[in-house]
Amino acid sequence: MSEYTAPLRDMQFVVEELAGLDTVNQLPGYEEATADLVQAVFEEASKFASGVLGPLNRAGDSNGAKWKDTVVTTTPGWKPAYEQFVEGGWNALACPAEIGGQNLPRLVSALVEEMWNAANISFALCPMLTRGAIEAIELRGSEHLKETYLPKMVSGEWTGTMNLTEPQAGSDLAAVRTRAVPQGDGSYKIDGQKIFITYGEHDLTDNIIHLVLARTPTAPEGVKGISLFVVPKFMLNDDGSLGERNDVRCVSIEHKLGIHGSPTCVLAFGQNGGATGYLVGEENRGLEYMFIMMNAARYSVGIEGIGLSERAYQHALAYARDRVQGTEAGVKGSGKVAIIRHPDVRRMLMLMKSQTEAMRALAGVVAAAMDTARVSADAAQQAQAQAFVDIMIPIVKGWSTENSIDIASLGVQIHGGMGFIEETGAAQYLRDARITAIYEGTTGIQAADLIGRKMARDQGQAAKTVIASMRATAESLQGAELAAIRESLTAGIDAFDRCVQYVVTNYGADARSVSVGSVPLLKLFGIVAGGWQLARSAAIASQHIADGKGSDFYKTKIVTARFYADHVLAQAPGLAHTVIDGASGALALADDQF
């Protein structure tokens, strides 16, 4: 079974040459994020990922978290690894300095996060949720809540969770029934049950800070009546030390297809009189606040997909180089060769490689925009960056995670029959990846958000701005070497443009028909956006080669972009047909005809 090695050269290329680190480190607070510092951070993160987290990945899958009498025990080795994670300062990488963080740009932390997920996604889920909880408290919590909880959450001494859904609610948060009754002293008694709570109970830290959606007695029905509460596992004494256990218990953990090392908990609040909680912000604005966590988590889940794709690719590549089977097609008298010499295996490896690099590049560019939107002193620049981030979040999340499933499946296919055997390890990436397209809103939910809130609501303005940038890139591709990439990218942009016009024109009058094509449109957008970034990569590489700075790395960038243009971008016109003309067949049958 191959070990994970972080793709540091490609990460460096994304950060420095595609996403513009030199621009990001001119933003207020990011001045110290120089190329040398970022490289040093990446190298240390790579060592931790491959040396500590990677070796635990298989154990987490085969010997996952255990539940007994409300207590959850993580996989052997998990706790020491988490202690090293905290000691290394990794939990606080992108947190603001004023709350104890290291204040590195999201552009940097996102690619470090990819390393954690590639090495061991089950482990990485815990700090990912903690970071989301930190951000929600930081932006909407009272000064008392910030002072009480953030220092130890930022350090990693305590972890955080997101408690949204309930057995009867699923993704419909309007159906949340957990109750929060004010006690007259500023606290609330929380009573209800939450399901699918990642790391809702574990033995890694002394305390867990739950962010919980609940309704007060006077709350209106629906999503406008939801409030957000901090509910600690342990109450705190006046001196900040841990006090009595709060009335929240893990009543079971789920038995899952994958991510076995990550405990997915059912939490009961208030079985013995009520759990004590503290309001975040104002009553009835909880869903608004929770979306701070949600959007951060959606981007991070996209990073999970990229990490898993990279890991599956590395695993399949190692196998293809070692597995000797068959003779080489078209070579007379060829002896037995490694399967990497077979054309179809090469095609599959290139599908894995090119799409993973496209996703990483797009996520890096979006992360740089996040940094601009967060701290730029220029209000217009902030607004422009935020508009780009908002429309791209469903793509980073939805497209990257759907791709990760396909890429992990290709990894199994390259292994042949051995891929179906658990001992080779290829199947774990497929099983682990499958949840990513469901986490934090299914692909259908991401796509509905894309066509409704992100396209129809603003008459496609944000999408048109992206299209203009894509066209500028396509028009800049010069020379015979880049001609095929330019042609395919232009056709993809045209296809996407037609779909945006279709959504803007028809969504208001016939949202149901337009919604049939929402997921194909998300896929189309992702494919074209990824092609855009690979085209930019090819142009940069071509210029380096022209300047005499050629290397195998840059030559490979051009080949990879060309492959993507021929095998992935080429799908765009067909997807556009599905988006624009595919509704009638999907909606024609009566329910009982299925």
The 10s digit of each residue's pLDDT in 383-422 is: 999 999 999 999 999 999 999 999 999 999 999 999 999 9
**Has residue 332 got a pLDDT over 90?**
no
Q: Which of 124, 26, 119 is nearest to 82 (CA)?
A: 124
* Bridge partners for 195 per DSSP: none
Residue 548 is predicted with a pLDDT of: 92
**Has residue 290 got a pLDDT over 90?**
no
What 3-state class would DSSP assign to 331?
Answer: coil
**Has residue 293 got a pLDDT over 80?**
no
Rounded distance between C-alpha atoms, residue 591 and residue 290, angstroms:
35
* Bridge partners for 250 per DSSP: 267
Residue 495 is predicted with a pLDDT of: 98
Q: Which of 277, 286, 304, 300 is nearest to 136 (CA)?
A: 286
Q: For 377, which DSSP code?
A: S
**Has residue 112 got a pLDDT over 70?**
yes
User: Angle, nearest 10°, between helix axes 286-322 and 106-140?
Assistant: 160
Strands (E) in 280-396, as ranges, are 324-327, 336-338
Residue 1 is predicted with a pLDDT of: 62
Residue 92 is predicted with a pLDDT of: 86
Residue 287 is predicted with a pLDDT of: 87
Phi, psi of 265 (to 5 degrees): -105, 150
**Has residue 40 got a pLDDT over 80?**
yes
Assigned token pair, 592: 């009982």
Could you list the active site residues?
Answer: 440
Q: Which of 124, 121, 165 is nearest to 434 (CA)?
A: 121
- What number is the average pLDDT over the span 4-12? 98
Rounded distance between C-alpha atoms, residue 506 and residue 325, angstroms:
54
Go through the chain and tell me how many residues it has: 594
Model confidence pLDDT, tens digit, residues 494-515: 999 999 999 999 999 999 999 9
**Has residue 171 got a pLDDT over 80?**
no
Q: For 262, which DSSP code?
A: S
Q: How far is CA 4 from CA 7, 67, 239, 553, in A?
A: 9, 29, 44, 20
Q: Which helix (H) or strand (E) holds 182?
A: strand 179-182
Higher pLDDT, 2 or 457: 457
237 with 243: CB under 8 angstroms? yes
- What number is the average pLDDT over the span 93-116? 95
221 with 191: CB under 8 angstroms? no
**Average pLDDT of every residue of the chain:** 96
What 3-state class would DSSP assign to 316?
Answer: helix
Task: Say which residues have a Cβ less than 8 Å from residue 503's Cβ, sequence separation at least 6.
Answer: 451, 455, 456, 460, 514, 521
Q: Which helix (H) or strand (E) holds 163?
A: strand 158-163
Q: Are strands 187-198 and 179-182 parallel, antiparallel or unpaired?
A: antiparallel
Structure confidence at residue 2 as a pLDDT band (50, 70, 90): confident
Structure confidence at residue 537 as a pLDDT band (50, 70, 90): very high
Q: Which of 404, 390, 387 is nearest to 439 (CA)?
A: 404
What sign does the CA torsion over 230, 236, 239, 242 have? Answer: negative
- What number is the average pLDDT over the span 103-125? 98
Nearest-5° angle of CA 130, CA 231, CA 435? 45
- Residue found by looking up tokens 């497929």 in the block: 430
Model confidence pLDDT, tens digit, residues 202-255: 999 999 999 999 999 999 998 899 999 999 999 999 999 999 999 999 999 999
* Bridge partners for 181 per DSSP: 189
**Has residue 102 got a pLDDT over 70?**
yes
**Has residue 172 got a pLDDT over 80?**
no
Cα dihedral 497/500/505/510 (nearest 10)? 140
Structure confidence at residue 90 as a pLDDT band (50, 70, 90): very high
Give percent of the chain with pLDDT exceeding 70. Answer: 100
Assigned token pair, 294: 């949600």
Residue 168 is predicted with a pLDDT of: 85
- Residue found by looking up tokens 């705190």 in the block: 236
Q: Which of 210, 178, 179 is nearest to 197 (CA)?
A: 210
Residue 517 is predicted with a pLDDT of: 98
Which of 2-6, 424-428, 524-528 has the least mean pLDDT? 2-6
Rounded distance between C-alpha atoms, residue 208 and residue 197, angstroms:
12
What HEC string does 198-252 produce?
ECCCCCCCCEEEEEEEEECCCCCCCHHHCEEEEEECEEECCCCCEEEECCEEEEE
Assigned token pair, 374: 């967060």
What 3-state class would DSSP assign to 189?
Answer: strand
User: Angle, nearest 10°, between helix axes 54-62 and 78-87?
Assistant: 150
Helices (H), 547-571: 552-567
Backbone φ/ψ region at 331: left (φ over 0), alpha (ψ -120 to 50), beta: beta
272 with 190: CB under 8 angstroms? no
pTM of the predicted model, to two decimals? Answer: 0.97
Q: For 569, which DSSP code?
A: G
